[in-house]
Homo-oligomer: A and B are copies of this chain.
Amino acid sequence: MKILITGGAGFLGARLARELLKKGQLNGRAITELCIADLSPPAADLCADARVRVHTGPMLNQSELFASGFDGVFHLASAVSGECELDFDLGLRSNLDSTRALLEGLRKAGNVPHLVFASSVAVFGPDASNPLPDRVADNTLPSPQTSYGTHKLMCEYLIADYTRKGFVDGRSARLMTVTVRPGQPNGAASSFFSGIIREPLAGVAAVCPVDANVSHPVSSPATTIRGLIAVYEASQQALGGRLALNLPGLNVRVSEMLQALQDVAGAQVRQLVRFERDERIAGIVANWPRGASADRARTLGLQSDESFKSIIEQYIADCLLSVDPVGPLKGLTPY
Protein backbone atom coordinates (compact mmCIF):
# COMPACT_ATOMS: atom_id res chain seq x y z
CA MET A 1 0.00 0.00 0.00
CA LYS A 2 0.93 3.66 -0.47
CA ILE A 3 1.92 5.73 2.54
CA LEU A 4 2.57 9.48 2.64
CA ILE A 5 4.63 11.35 5.22
CA THR A 6 4.34 15.13 5.07
CA GLY A 7 7.39 16.75 6.60
CA GLY A 8 9.07 13.42 5.89
CA ALA A 9 12.54 14.93 5.53
CA GLY A 10 12.48 16.60 8.93
CA PHE A 11 13.89 15.42 12.23
CA LEU A 12 10.87 13.32 13.23
CA GLY A 13 9.64 12.65 9.69
CA ALA A 14 12.88 11.04 8.54
CA ARG A 15 13.00 8.96 11.69
CA LEU A 16 9.42 7.83 11.10
CA ALA A 17 10.24 7.03 7.46
CA ARG A 18 13.20 4.84 8.50
CA GLU A 19 11.05 3.08 11.07
CA LEU A 20 8.27 2.38 8.56
CA LEU A 21 10.73 1.09 5.95
CA LYS A 22 12.26 -1.21 8.55
CA LYS A 23 8.87 -2.38 9.79
CA GLY A 24 7.69 -2.90 6.22
CA GLN A 25 3.96 -2.96 7.01
CA LEU A 26 1.17 -1.29 8.94
CA ASN A 27 -1.65 -3.37 10.35
CA GLY A 28 -0.25 -6.31 8.39
CA ARG A 29 -0.42 -4.59 5.00
CA ALA A 30 2.91 -4.29 3.20
CA ILE A 31 4.17 -0.78 2.47
CA THR A 32 4.99 -0.87 -1.23
CA GLU A 33 5.44 2.86 -1.66
CA LEU A 34 6.51 5.49 0.85
CA CYS A 35 6.05 9.02 -0.37
CA ILE A 36 8.09 11.68 1.39
CA ALA A 37 6.76 15.21 0.90
CA ASP A 38 8.76 18.07 2.34
CA LEU A 39 10.13 21.49 1.51
CA SER A 40 13.61 19.95 1.46
CA PRO A 41 14.73 16.61 0.00
CA PRO A 42 15.23 13.77 2.47
CA ALA A 43 18.55 12.22 3.48
CA ALA A 44 20.41 9.97 1.06
CA ASP A 45 19.66 6.72 2.89
CA LEU A 46 15.93 7.34 2.45
CA CYS A 47 16.23 8.26 -1.21
CA ALA A 48 18.18 5.05 -1.78
CA ASP A 49 15.27 2.83 -0.75
CA ALA A 50 13.39 1.57 -3.82
CA ARG A 51 10.05 2.07 -2.08
CA VAL A 52 10.63 5.78 -1.51
CA ARG A 53 9.18 8.52 -3.75
CA VAL A 54 10.21 12.10 -3.08
CA HIS A 55 8.01 15.18 -3.59
CA THR A 56 9.70 18.47 -2.79
CA GLY A 57 7.86 21.77 -2.42
CA PRO A 58 5.15 23.56 -0.42
CA MET A 59 2.11 21.49 0.51
CA LEU A 60 -0.18 24.09 -1.04
CA ASN A 61 1.20 23.06 -4.45
CA GLN A 62 0.64 19.34 -3.94
CA SER A 63 -3.13 18.99 -4.28
CA GLU A 64 -2.74 16.50 -7.10
CA LEU A 65 -0.35 14.37 -5.09
CA PHE A 66 -2.69 14.33 -2.08
CA ALA A 67 -5.58 13.15 -4.27
CA SER A 68 -3.54 10.33 -5.83
CA GLY A 69 -4.93 7.58 -3.61
CA PHE A 70 -2.83 7.05 -0.49
CA ASP A 71 -3.83 4.28 1.89
CA GLY A 72 -2.32 6.04 4.87
CA VAL A 73 -0.88 9.43 5.77
CA PHE A 74 1.28 10.75 8.59
CA HIS A 75 0.88 14.53 8.56
CA LEU A 76 3.92 16.00 10.31
CA ALA A 77 4.72 19.05 8.16
CA SER A 78 4.47 22.24 10.15
CA ALA A 79 6.02 25.62 10.71
CA VAL A 80 7.28 25.71 14.30
CA SER A 81 5.89 27.88 17.06
CA GLY A 82 8.61 30.53 17.01
CA GLU A 83 8.22 31.04 13.26
CA CYS A 84 4.43 31.34 13.55
CA GLU A 85 4.71 33.96 16.29
CA LEU A 86 7.02 36.04 14.09
CA ASP A 87 5.02 35.58 10.89
CA PHE A 88 1.28 35.22 11.48
CA ASP A 89 0.48 34.65 7.79
CA LEU A 90 3.10 31.93 7.49
CA GLY A 91 1.44 30.11 10.38
CA LEU A 92 -2.01 30.27 8.79
CA ARG A 93 -0.63 29.14 5.45
CA SER A 94 1.71 26.39 6.63
CA ASN A 95 -0.31 24.94 9.46
CA LEU A 96 -3.96 25.60 8.61
CA ASP A 97 -4.26 26.04 4.84
CA SER A 98 -1.78 23.25 4.09
CA THR A 99 -3.74 20.83 6.27
CA ARG A 100 -6.93 21.81 4.48
CA ALA A 101 -5.25 21.18 1.11
CA LEU A 102 -4.22 17.75 2.35
CA LEU A 103 -7.68 16.93 3.68
CA GLU A 104 -9.37 18.06 0.46
CA GLY A 105 -7.00 15.92 -1.60
CA LEU A 106 -7.63 12.86 0.55
CA ARG A 107 -11.38 13.47 0.40
CA LYS A 108 -11.23 13.81 -3.38
CA ALA A 109 -9.40 10.48 -3.67
CA GLY A 110 -12.45 8.91 -2.10
CA ASN A 111 -10.77 5.87 -0.51
CA VAL A 112 -11.07 7.04 3.14
CA PRO A 113 -7.36 6.79 3.97
CA HIS A 114 -5.95 6.45 7.45
CA LEU A 115 -4.57 9.79 8.66
CA VAL A 116 -2.43 10.52 11.70
CA PHE A 117 -2.04 14.20 12.49
CA ALA A 118 0.87 15.32 14.64
CA SER A 119 -0.73 17.81 16.99
CA SER A 120 1.03 19.25 20.00
CA VAL A 121 0.94 19.79 23.74
CA ALA A 122 1.01 23.46 22.66
CA VAL A 123 -2.80 23.35 22.34
CA PHE A 124 -2.87 23.70 26.13
CA GLY A 125 -2.36 26.91 28.02
CA PRO A 126 -3.83 28.91 30.88
CA ASP A 127 -6.77 31.25 30.43
CA ALA A 128 -8.15 33.67 33.03
CA SER A 129 -11.10 31.36 33.73
CA ASN A 130 -9.22 28.11 33.15
CA PRO A 131 -5.86 27.75 34.90
CA LEU A 132 -3.74 24.82 33.77
CA PRO A 133 -4.01 21.67 35.88
CA ASP A 134 -0.78 20.08 37.12
CA ARG A 135 -1.13 17.51 34.37
CA VAL A 136 -3.00 18.27 31.18
CA ALA A 137 -5.19 15.32 30.27
CA ASP A 138 -6.77 14.10 27.03
CA ASN A 139 -9.93 15.96 27.97
CA THR A 140 -8.44 19.14 29.43
CA LEU A 141 -10.01 22.19 27.79
CA PRO A 142 -7.41 23.54 25.33
CA SER A 143 -6.58 27.22 25.48
CA PRO A 144 -3.63 27.76 23.16
CA GLN A 145 -1.33 30.70 23.87
CA THR A 146 0.36 30.68 20.46
CA SER A 147 -0.79 30.75 16.85
CA TYR A 148 0.98 27.41 16.42
CA GLY A 149 -1.13 25.82 19.15
CA THR A 150 -4.27 27.52 17.82
CA HIS A 151 -3.81 26.13 14.31
CA LYS A 152 -2.95 22.65 15.61
CA LEU A 153 -6.16 22.65 17.62
CA MET A 154 -8.26 23.92 14.70
CA CYS A 155 -6.83 21.12 12.56
CA GLU A 156 -7.64 18.54 15.25
CA TYR A 157 -11.30 19.56 15.10
CA LEU A 158 -11.35 19.78 11.31
CA ILE A 159 -9.91 16.27 11.04
CA ALA A 160 -12.48 14.99 13.54
CA ASP A 161 -15.20 16.41 11.28
CA TYR A 162 -13.72 14.97 8.07
CA THR A 163 -13.63 11.66 9.95
CA ARG A 164 -17.23 11.96 11.12
CA LYS A 165 -18.26 12.62 7.52
CA GLY A 166 -16.37 9.51 6.37
CA PHE A 167 -13.91 11.42 4.17
CA VAL A 168 -10.84 10.16 6.05
CA ASP A 169 -10.17 7.84 8.98
CA GLY A 170 -8.35 10.49 10.97
CA ARG A 171 -6.79 10.64 14.38
CA SER A 172 -4.78 13.40 16.07
CA ALA A 173 -1.97 12.67 18.50
CA ARG A 174 -0.55 15.46 20.64
CA LEU A 175 3.21 15.24 20.73
CA MET A 176 5.00 16.21 23.91
CA THR A 177 8.18 18.32 23.63
CA VAL A 178 10.61 16.05 21.80
CA THR A 179 14.08 15.95 23.24
CA VAL A 180 17.03 15.59 22.72
CA ARG A 181 16.92 17.21 19.27
CA PRO A 182 20.20 17.10 17.35
CA GLY A 183 21.63 20.03 15.41
CA GLN A 184 21.70 23.71 16.11
CA PRO A 185 19.51 25.57 18.61
CA ASN A 186 16.42 26.88 16.82
CA GLY A 187 14.16 29.84 17.48
CA ALA A 188 11.67 27.82 19.51
CA ALA A 189 11.32 28.85 23.14
CA SER A 190 11.59 25.13 23.95
CA SER A 191 14.99 24.90 22.27
CA PHE A 192 16.83 24.90 25.61
CA PHE A 193 15.20 21.60 26.64
CA SER A 194 17.52 20.01 24.07
CA GLY A 195 20.33 22.55 24.28
CA ILE A 196 21.13 22.00 27.95
CA ILE A 197 21.87 18.35 27.13
CA ARG A 198 23.18 18.48 23.54
CA GLU A 199 25.65 21.33 23.96
CA PRO A 200 27.41 20.01 27.10
CA LEU A 201 27.68 16.55 25.52
CA ALA A 202 29.52 18.24 22.65
CA GLY A 203 31.79 20.04 25.12
CA VAL A 204 30.06 23.37 24.61
CA ALA A 205 28.76 25.63 27.37
CA ALA A 206 25.00 26.08 27.54
CA VAL A 207 22.65 28.53 29.25
CA CYS A 208 19.45 27.44 30.93
CA PRO A 209 17.02 30.40 30.71
CA VAL A 210 14.49 29.10 33.26
CA ASP A 211 14.60 28.03 36.89
CA ALA A 212 15.73 24.53 37.85
CA ASN A 213 12.30 23.66 39.26
CA VAL A 214 10.50 24.20 35.93
CA SER A 215 8.69 20.99 35.01
CA HIS A 216 7.53 19.89 31.55
CA PRO A 217 6.35 16.74 29.73
CA VAL A 218 8.98 15.48 27.28
CA SER A 219 9.43 12.50 25.05
CA SER A 220 12.35 10.95 23.18
CA PRO A 221 12.18 10.77 19.38
CA ALA A 222 11.87 6.95 19.48
CA THR A 223 8.99 7.02 21.96
CA THR A 224 7.27 9.71 19.89
CA ILE A 225 7.58 7.68 16.68
CA ARG A 226 6.30 4.59 18.48
CA GLY A 227 3.27 6.64 19.55
CA LEU A 228 2.51 7.88 16.04
CA ILE A 229 2.62 4.35 14.63
CA ALA A 230 0.45 2.92 17.42
CA VAL A 231 -2.13 5.66 16.87
CA TYR A 232 -2.11 4.83 13.15
CA GLU A 233 -2.65 1.14 13.78
CA ALA A 234 -5.38 1.55 16.40
CA SER A 235 -9.03 1.15 15.49
CA GLN A 236 -11.31 4.14 16.04
CA GLN A 237 -12.95 2.11 18.80
CA ALA A 238 -9.62 1.51 20.56
CA LEU A 239 -8.86 5.23 20.26
CA GLY A 240 -11.94 5.94 22.36
CA GLY A 241 -13.42 8.76 20.32
CA ARG A 242 -12.59 11.14 17.53
CA LEU A 243 -10.98 13.83 19.66
CA ALA A 244 -7.21 14.14 19.88
CA LEU A 245 -5.27 12.18 22.47
CA ASN A 246 -2.06 12.99 24.33
CA LEU A 247 1.00 10.88 23.60
CA PRO A 248 2.74 9.82 26.82
CA GLY A 249 5.24 12.29 28.22
CA LEU A 250 7.84 12.03 30.94
CA ASN A 251 7.05 14.82 33.40
CA VAL A 252 10.48 16.02 34.44
CA ARG A 253 12.06 19.03 36.13
CA VAL A 254 15.07 20.84 34.69
CA SER A 255 16.98 19.89 37.85
CA GLU A 256 16.23 16.21 37.16
CA MET A 257 17.34 16.59 33.54
CA LEU A 258 20.68 17.98 34.68
CA GLN A 259 21.10 15.28 37.34
CA ALA A 260 20.53 12.69 34.61
CA LEU A 261 23.13 14.43 32.46
CA GLN A 262 25.59 14.21 35.33
CA ASP A 263 24.74 10.54 35.91
CA VAL A 264 25.36 9.71 32.26
CA ALA A 265 28.24 12.03 31.37
CA GLY A 266 29.82 13.15 34.64
CA ALA A 267 29.98 16.29 36.73
CA GLN A 268 32.33 18.10 34.34
CA VAL A 269 29.80 17.93 31.55
CA ARG A 270 27.01 18.98 33.88
CA GLN A 271 29.12 22.01 34.93
CA LEU A 272 28.94 23.33 31.36
CA VAL A 273 25.32 24.39 32.01
CA ARG A 274 24.82 27.63 33.86
CA PHE A 275 21.55 29.27 34.86
CA GLU A 276 20.87 32.71 33.47
CA ARG A 277 17.23 33.63 33.60
CA ASP A 278 15.77 35.02 30.36
CA GLU A 279 12.54 36.79 31.31
CA ARG A 280 11.06 36.48 27.81
CA ILE A 281 11.59 32.72 27.63
CA ALA A 282 10.73 32.15 31.27
CA GLY A 283 7.50 34.04 30.70
CA ILE A 284 6.57 31.87 27.72
CA VAL A 285 7.45 28.66 29.52
CA ALA A 286 5.38 29.70 32.54
CA ASN A 287 2.33 29.33 30.26
CA TRP A 288 3.25 25.78 29.28
CA PRO A 289 1.94 22.59 30.87
CA ARG A 290 4.02 21.44 33.84
CA GLY A 291 3.04 17.88 33.13
CA ALA A 292 0.70 15.72 31.08
CA SER A 293 -1.22 12.50 31.43
CA ALA A 294 -2.08 10.17 28.56
CA ASP A 295 -4.81 7.79 29.68
CA ARG A 296 -6.11 6.96 26.21
CA ALA A 297 -2.61 6.36 24.80
CA ARG A 298 -1.92 4.02 27.70
CA THR A 299 -4.92 1.90 26.76
CA LEU A 300 -3.14 1.46 23.40
CA GLY A 301 -0.16 0.07 25.32
CA LEU A 302 1.94 3.22 24.99
CA GLN A 303 4.30 4.29 27.76
CA SER A 304 6.39 7.37 28.35
CA ASP A 305 10.17 7.12 28.38
CA GLU A 306 11.35 5.32 31.48
CA SER A 307 13.66 8.07 32.70
CA PHE A 308 15.42 11.15 31.43
CA LYS A 309 18.66 9.15 31.67
CA SER A 310 17.31 6.76 29.04
CA ILE A 311 16.41 9.73 26.82
CA ILE A 312 19.99 11.02 27.01
CA GLU A 313 21.35 7.55 26.31
CA GLN A 314 19.12 7.30 23.24
CA TYR A 315 20.52 10.60 21.97
CA ILE A 316 24.11 9.50 22.47
CA ALA A 317 23.50 6.19 20.72
CA ASP A 318 21.89 8.06 17.81
CA CYS A 319 24.82 10.45 17.48
CA LEU A 320 27.32 7.63 17.46
CA LEU A 321 25.30 5.77 14.83
CA SER A 322 24.64 8.76 12.64
CA VAL A 323 26.47 8.92 9.33
CA ASP A 324 26.28 12.67 9.61
CA PRO A 325 26.95 13.49 13.25
CA VAL A 326 25.97 16.94 14.34
CA GLY A 327 29.00 17.41 16.55
CA PRO A 328 31.53 15.42 18.49
CA LEU A 329 30.51 14.06 21.85
CA LYS A 330 33.24 15.37 24.09
CA GLY A 331 34.06 14.95 27.74
CA LEU A 332 31.89 11.89 27.84
CA THR A 333 32.64 9.41 30.58
CA PRO A 334 32.25 5.81 29.38
CA TYR A 335 28.85 4.35 30.14
- Count of chain copies: 2
Would you call A88 an interface residue if the criterion is a C-beta within 8 Å of the partner chain's C-beta atoms?
Answer: yes
Annotate A86-105 by CB proximity to B: 1 below 8 A, 0 otherwise.
00100000000000000000
Would you call A138 an interface residue if the criterion is a C-beta within 8 Å of the partner chain's C-beta atoms?
Answer: yes
| Selected contact of A127 from candidates B153, B154, B237, B242, CB within 8 Å | B242
* Cα–Cα distance between A130 and B138 once the two chains are bound (Å): 10
Annotate A138-170 by CB proximity to B: 1 below 8 A, 0 otherwise.
111101110100100110011011001100000
A29 to chain B, nearest CB (A): 25
List of B residues within 8 angstroms of A161 by Cβ: 144, 147, 150
* Cα–Cα distance between A160 and B296 once the two chains are bound (Å): 28
Nearest B residue to A165 by beta-carbon distance?
B88
List of B residues within 8 angstroms of A145 by Cβ: 164
Evaluate whether A144 and B127 lie within 8 angstroms (CB atoms) in the complex, with A88-B165, A165-B88 already known: no
Evaluate whether A130 and B141 lie within 8 angstroms (CB atoms) in the complex, with A157-B153, A158-B154 already known: no
Q: Which of A114-155 touch B at CB < 8 Å?
A: 127-130, 138-141, 143-145, 147, 150, 153-154
Q: Which of A268-327 touch B at CB < 8 Å?
A: 296
* Cα–Cα distance between A150 and B163 once the two chains are bound (Å): 12
Would you call A241 an interface residue if the criterion is a C-beta within 8 Å of the partner chain's C-beta atoms?
Answer: yes
Nearest B residue to A155 by beta-carbon distance?
B154
Nearest B residue to A240 by beta-carbon distance?
B129
Would you call A243 an interface residue if the criterion is a C-beta within 8 Å of the partner chain's C-beta atoms?
Answer: yes
* Cα–Cα distance between A128 and B143 once the two chains are bound (Å): 22
* Cα–Cα distance between A150 and B158 once the two chains are bound (Å): 7
List of B residues within 8 angstroms of A237 by Cβ: 128
Q: Is the CB of B241 within 8 A of A128?
A: yes
Q: Is the CB of A138 within 8 A of B129?
A: yes
| Selected contact of A128 from candidates B150, B157, B164, B240, CB within 8 Å | B240
| Selected contact of A141 from candidates B127, B129, B139, B165, CB within 8 Å | B139
24 contacts between A and B (CB under 8 A): A88-B165, A127-B241, A127-B242, A128-B237, A128-B240, A128-B241, A129-B138, A129-B139, A129-B241, A129-B296, A130-B243, A141-B141, A141-B243, A143-B241, A143-B242, A144-B157, A144-B160, A145-B164, A147-B161, A147-B165, A150-B157, A150-B158, A150-B161, A153-B157
**Given contact pairs A127-B242, A127-B243, A154-B157, a sample of 14 additional A-B residue pairs in the complex whose CB atoms are under 8 Å apart:** A128-B242, A129-B138, A129-B241, A129-B296, A130-B241, A143-B241, A143-B242, A144-B161, A147-B165, A150-B157, A150-B158, A150-B160, A150-B161, A153-B157
